[in-house]
Structure 1
Amino acid sequence: MGNIVGYEYEKELQPFVLQDVWRFQEADPGREAHYTLQLPAGWEYKATWMNYPEVKPAQSGNQSQWSVSDIKGIKHEDSMPPWQGVAGQMIVSFFPPGSSAQNQGFQNWKQMGIWYQGLTSGRRDASPELKQKVASLTASASAPAAKMKALGEFAQRDIRYVAIELGIGGWQPHPAAEVFAHHYGDCKDKATLMGAMLHEIGIDSYYVVINSERGSVTPETPAHMGGFDHVILAIKLPDGVSEGSLAATMFHPRLGKILFFDPTDELTPFGQLSGALQANYGLLVTPDGGELVELPELPPAMNGIQRTAKLNLSAAGTLSGEVQETRVGDRAWSQRWALRTVTKDTDRIKPIETLLSHSLATFQITNASVGNLQLTDQPFLYNYSVVAQNYAKSAGNLLLVRPRFIGNKSSDLLETKEPRKYAVEFDGPSRDSDTFEITLPPGYEVDDLPPPVNADYSFASYHSKTEVNGNTLKYTRTFEIKELSVPVNKVEDLKKLYRIIAGDERNTAVLRPATH
């Protein structure tokens, strides 16, 4: 028998909005939970349930009470949706008689947008000093896209991220003039400053209130404050601006073409979005109110690793050669973040050492360099030389060689005893590719090759091929994530895909002494 713990507490609040969230489902199971609401005469309420079957309240005069029992605990699964996207909760909005959208709960997203529009009114007015800075930043740029990029880089890199959120300050940004004067602010402060600067060059922009975890807010989510933790901008692009680098765009029926930009994310270049924000839902705040919009999903090729290697194999089984990695999107972001505080050259190769250690039993890096570390609008580069002893294994007079030199795409995520309960969420769309060319040792030829692999699913695809060209063994593969969420009814297909990849990554080619 386990222990049963009961507790009760009371708190008094003065909420910014007449709304409450009852979060009754947690990691531990619950025997029983109650929520009681008592309103003054003439008040009304609206209750909306999320991730749980609706329960009708027991009514007694102006008091309503909801009860739930036998509440299952939420067991963590790797790569599951965020907590807010799966936990049972009830959102209650209160409506005093004759109240306005500024002091009542939200009936819909439009009302929440009106509330936030009022909260930010006048905050993007520029000071003379800020106007002067905008003129200086854009003086050398003639095209609107170049001007916007210059302002965006300033907001991302020159304004330090510091969050001072007291009271309503968790939602209301500081005035743009203050943010500029102090050179620091949080996400909504940076968005406010960026909006003020854009206004000075004649470009409109709008707040987008969003959650940094995709899946926290969905089209079915009712309007409430608790679903968001981040603020970015939607920039109304001027007519004629169509640069290919501005990929994070969508067409809005009233606003036209808008570009989403995160001034807080200093490592994602202007025109792109991190994977967590792609296909995410945010509250677009315009003068007409708010609306829930889905942010664009960028092409997989904009996030990935292109790895090439030219290698030489000795008859003793040692493999050596040069490797080049080109990383874009979040793949570049992660490396720049890992190296952002590194000052020693020896420490800059640690991510390479970690990568190689997952694929090679023994190795030595003889040379390494990093390219475009600070140039976030350019691909991030690794170039390194490596020697791996005993890479090829002897079997009599044969040599067994694994064509897949480095890099792991398989996963044991779904190799669990218990069935999966929640969807599998990927970080973002991606496309990784490997091309490894291994020059055979003199006196050897290929006796057997691994079969090609072609696995296509709606959510991902994997293709690999090993071939011989003269005395060179060439291995190529691509792994593409096409859908960002794999529902429970498809996780067996994902498990199958990971097993196919694991098999391909283990496969070996057989070399024999040449017969001529």
Structure 2
Amino acid sequence: MKTLFIHIFLFTVVSASAQSYNSLLIPDTLSKNANVVCRYNELRIEIKEPGKAKIYRKNVNTILNEAGDRYSFFFTQYDKFNDINDIDGTLYDAMGKQLKNVKKKDIEDLSGNDDISLMVDTRFKAHSFYYRSYPYTVEYEEEKILNGVFDLPDWYPQQSNTMGVQYCKLVVVTPKDLDIRYKQFNYPGTPVITEEKDQKVYTWELKNLPAKVSEQYQPSWREILPSVIVAPTSFEIQGYKGEMSSWENFGMFINSLLKGRDIMPDAIKQKVHELTDGITDKKEKVKVLYNFLQQNTRYISVQLGIGGWQPFDANYVYTKRYGDCKALSNYMVALLKEAGINANYVLIKAGDDAEDIITDFPSNQFNHATVCVPINKDTMWLECTSQTVSAGYQGNFTGNRHALLIDDKGGHIISTTVYKASDNTQIRRITSAIDETGKLTAAIDTHYTCLQQDELHGKINHLSKDKLLESLKKDIDLPDYDVTSFNYDEKKSEKPAIDEQLQLIANNYASVSGKRIFVTPDILNRNTIKLKTEDQRKYDIDYPSSFTDKDTVSIKIPDGYNIESMPKDVIINNKFGDYEIHFKVDADNINCTRLYRRSEGRFPPSDYTELAKFYDSMYKADRSRIVFIKKEG
């Protein structure tokens, strides 16, 4: 009887588990438009004291198709501040039947070193069941100990718009006398706060979140999907204590990590004076010392222990001739200080696509350090990890966002450089000819500035001539073409520019039909698209990156041909920008001038129809054609 009871009990437990992860039980409202459904998500943060916390995660995802496979992987990092106590993973089939289970010892262990890292103590645990019979379910549990409560994990219950969510919760447990701060995004209501003995418990819960359909030029998903970020008021890490109740306090902690790290040997001090003592203009001094840094150091990531936040000292960089962003920025500040120039160490969230920091929530939101040099009413920025970027230029990497400037009084939120449409230009002149077979021969001169030269700057400074040519032969939107010659001239400044000269031949560029030749005069800037029709637009229009494109195209009329028809001029001016295209006959040539100036901005959903019409008009105008007809006789 006892044995029978045990068998019945085990059968009941297994059956209940299988039933709970049975994919047939997922409501249609959650699988619609979804690649994955999160069946259960729990993040539990237990803060024991300012220097110690325990993190527990449980995540159960049902993968519906191949596009959802990326949500089946387990990946976590650990170092001296993050100890992994336990990991458990389980794979279930479509009916919720358990197929496989793995423990911590079965999880692959990976080094955090990469091509730009010399020394890091970060390692990773990674795992995949590599199962591809859809739908299937993966369950992972993880427990970590944080030795230092400086960074707490954020809660993103709906990790993308293609994820439906059945149930998720965040629980934060703290001692009653330890304050935490939190900020909610798109969360209905407030957390449930309870007290248990000497602890305070905060709980957030969400259920039945459907997947969302993306819209063109919508705001980032961070603005749309629910999330909660949590940060301590007081913290401790590797013996360093700090507060982040304000940016001033946070900056004081960072400043304490910088203290005494600007001391340099006499040899480098003498070099600074040798380079700058004869220069009276402060900006020129900055440029000279920045050039010295670029020529004598290189970027290598070195992150050991507190070194993930504290820079190696200036003498280390001078001796080794390398450093990470923190060490190089600290070294640059020290060089400038020796020359009598005040400069500031700055924390920032860098990256071409990085989202701006949340300025009203002091916390560690940064991934990069750079340098700010106040000069009169101007500000000069120095990107110390690059050996090629111009002094004073930030580009898409750190421009147009907020940052935290560090000084003796703490931290201060500041704005970085905003690049306008008049800064980000692409001015192109094309002199071309079409023969009777439709072959195009063209000489192309293009002047790129600021954000419009960023990608090209990277290529010409990091690719060989052969690789550059290979790139040119792939990147131009023309059929069957060959680049016969090319040249670049880079002009460094706070608003850098690149001049490009190309010679190319494109076979069959023009369409030949009987006695007619059809030519699209907008040769290289037909990058406009048609926007999808959206009858019920939900989200604001987030229209990014102002710029100006201007093309002047001269097309020689083919010998033996006349003009049969030309497109009409088009002029459009609205809140999204300006577009003009004009056509004019000049002796044996047709000249086409095209101007497109885009205006960055945030617009209500009701403006989308106007934006779509604007794109449709540009799309048609960019593809309008000139028709040449063969002369009679």
| Bucket of the pairwise TM-score, normalised by the shorter protein | 0.7 to 0.9
Q: Which residue of 2 aligns with 1:45?
A: 180
The structure with the largest strand share of the pair is 2
Contact 1:355 1:407 in 2 (8 A): no
Name the CA distance, whole Å, in 1 between partners of 2:206 and 2:565.
62
Partners of 1:408 and 1:346 lie apart in 2 by: 27
TM-score (norm. length: structure 1): 0.83
- Compared CA separation, residues 400 and 145, structure 1 to 2 (3 A): same
> Shift of the alpha carbon at 1:483?
1.2
Query: Counterparts of 2:607 and 2:617 in 1: how far apart (Å)?
Result: 16
Contact 2:392 2:493 in 1 (8 A): no
Between the aligned partners of 1:468 and 1:233, the Cα distance in structure 2 is 53
Contact 2:398/2:416 (<8 A) preserved:
yes
Give the superposition deviation at 1:200: 1.3
| Aligned 8 A contact 1:107 1:223 in 2 | yes
Query: 2:170 maps to which residue?
Result: 35
Alignment of 1:231 onto 2:231: no
Instruction: Please report how far the alpha carbon of residue 512 of structure 1 lies from its aligned counterpart in structure 2 after TM superposition.
Output: 3.3
Secondary structure of 2:286's aligned partner = helix
Structure 1 residue aligned with 2:355:
216
What residue is the counterpart of 2:10 in the other structure?
A: none
1:117-516 equivalences in 2 (<5 Å): 117-138=255-276, 141-213=279-351, 216-218=355-357, 221-225=360-364, 227-237=365-375, 239=376, 256-343=377-464, 345-356=465-476, 358=477, 360-372=478-490, 379-411=497-529, 424=542, 426=544, 428-483=545-600, 490-513=607-630
The answer on whether the counterparts of 1:16 and 1:103 sit within 8 Å (CA) in structure 2 is no
Q: What residue number does 1:242 align with?
A: none
For structure 1, which segment, 70-79 or 209-218, has the greater mean C-alpha deviation from structure 2 after superposition? 70-79
2:461 is matched by which residue type in structure 1? R
Distance 1:293 1:201 in 2: 25
Which residue number corresponds to residue 206 of structure 2?
69
Amino acid aligned to 1:350: E
Alpha-carbon distance in 2 for matches of 1:49, 1:311: 57
Aligned to 1:251: none
Determine the structure 1 residue equivalent to 2:142.
9
Q: 2-side partners of 1:156 and 1:487: how far apart?
A: 45
The residue identity in structure 1 corresponding to 2:142 is Y
Given the superposition, is the C-alpha separation of residues 368 and 39 from structure 1 closer, same or farther in structure 2, using an over 3 Å criterion? closer
CA distance in 1, matches of 2:255, 2:406: 7
Report the Cα distance in structure 1 between the residues aligned to 2:268 and 2:223, rounded to whole angstroms. Answer: 40
Secondary structure of the structure 2 residue equivalent to 1:300: coil
User: Which deviates more, 68-77 or 462-471?
Assistant: 68-77
The answer on whether the counterparts of 1:85 and 1:216 sit within 8 Å (CA) in structure 2 is no
- 1:366, 1:387 within 8 Å by CA — same for their partners in 2? yes
Q: CA deviation at 1:38?
A: 3.1
CA pair 387-87 structure 1, distance change in 2 beyond 3 A: same
State the TM-score, normalized to the length of structure 2. Answer: 0.69
1:11 aligns to what SS in structure 2?
strand
| Deviation of 1:377 (Å) | 7.8
- Give the SS at the match of 1:125: coil
Task: Compute the displacement of 1:235 (Å).
Answer: 0.7
Structure 2 distance, partners of 1:448, 1:232, is 56
Sequence identity, in percent? 21
Are 2:347 and 2:366, in contact at CA under 8 Å, matched by a contact in 1? yes
Match in the other structure for 1:243: none
Preserved contact between residue 403 and residue 466 of structure 1 (Cα < 8 Å): no
Partner of 1:26: 159
Separation (CA, whole Å) in 1 of partners of 2:180 and 2:168: 20
Measure the CA separation in 2 of the matches of 1:177 and 1:267.
23
Partner Cα separation in structure 2 for residue 378 and residue 455 of structure 1? 30
Does the aligned pair in 2 maintain the 1:453–1:464 contact within 8 Å?
Answer: yes
Looking at structure 2, the residues matched to 157 and 496 of structure 1 have their Cα atoms a distance apart, in angstroms, of 50
1:351-379 deviations in Å (ceiling 9; x for gaps): 322243x2x32223333333339999863
Q: Distance in 2 between matches of 1:68 and 1:223?
A: 24
Please give the secondary structure, in 2, of the residue aligned with 1:123. Answer: coil
3-state SS in 1 of match to 2:154: strand
Aligned partners of 1:333 and 1:157: how far apart in 2? 20
Q: Deviations over 1:107-156 (max 9, x none)?
A: 22222122212222222233323212323433664422111112222334
The answer to whether the Cα contact below 8 Å between 1:310 and 1:437 also exists between their aligned partners in 2 is yes
In structure 1, C-alpha distance between the alignment counterparts of 2:481 and 2:446, rounded to whole Å = 18
Q: What CA distance in whole angstroms lies between the structure 2 residues aligned with 1:386 and 1:18?
A: 53
One-letter identity of the residue aligned with 1:34: K
Q: CA deviation at 1:509?
A: 1.3
Q: What CA distance in whole angstroms lies between the structure 2 residues aligned with 1:387 and 1:267?
A: 32
Q: Which amino acid aligns with 2:355?
A: S
How far 1:468 moved relative to its partner? 1.3
Aligned residues: 490
| Secondary structure of the corresponding residue to residue 428 of structure 2 | strand
Q: Which amino acid aligns with 2:546?
A: P
Task: Give the conservation status (yes or no) of the 8 Å contact 1:18–1:95.
Answer: no
* Residues 458 and 483, structure 1, Cα contact 8 Å, conserved in 2: no
Work out whether residues 268 and 329 of structure 1, in 8 Å CA contact, stay in contact via their aligned partners in 2. Answer: no
Query: 133-142 or 295-304, which moves further after superposition?
Result: 133-142
Shift of 1:179: 1.5
Shift of 1:447: 3.0
Task: Give the distance between the partners of 1:265 and 1:51, measured in 2 at CA.
Answer: 38
1:196 deviation in Å? 0.8
SS at match of 2:329: helix
CA distance in 2, matches of 1:513, 1:473: 16
Give the secondary structure class of the aligned counterpart of 1:212: coil
Q: CA RMSD in A?
A: 3.4
The residue type paired with residue 431 of structure 1 is T
Q: Which moved more, 1:327-336 or 1:201-210?
A: 327-336
Deviation at 1:419, TM superposition (A): 6.0
Distance in 2 between residues matched to 1:150 and 1:482, nearest whole Å = 36
The residue that corresponds to 1:110 in the other structure is 248
**Per-residue deviation, 1:471:** 1.8
AA in 2 matched with 1:12: I
Segments of structure 2 that go 5 or more residues without pairing to the other structure are 1-23, 27-36, 40-59, 61-138
Q: Which residue of 2 aligns with 1:244?
A: none
Alpha-carbon distance in 1 for matches of 2:344, 2:608: 38
- C-alpha spacing 1:148/1:39, structure 2 compared with 1 (3 Å): same
CA shift, 1:322, in A, is: 1.3
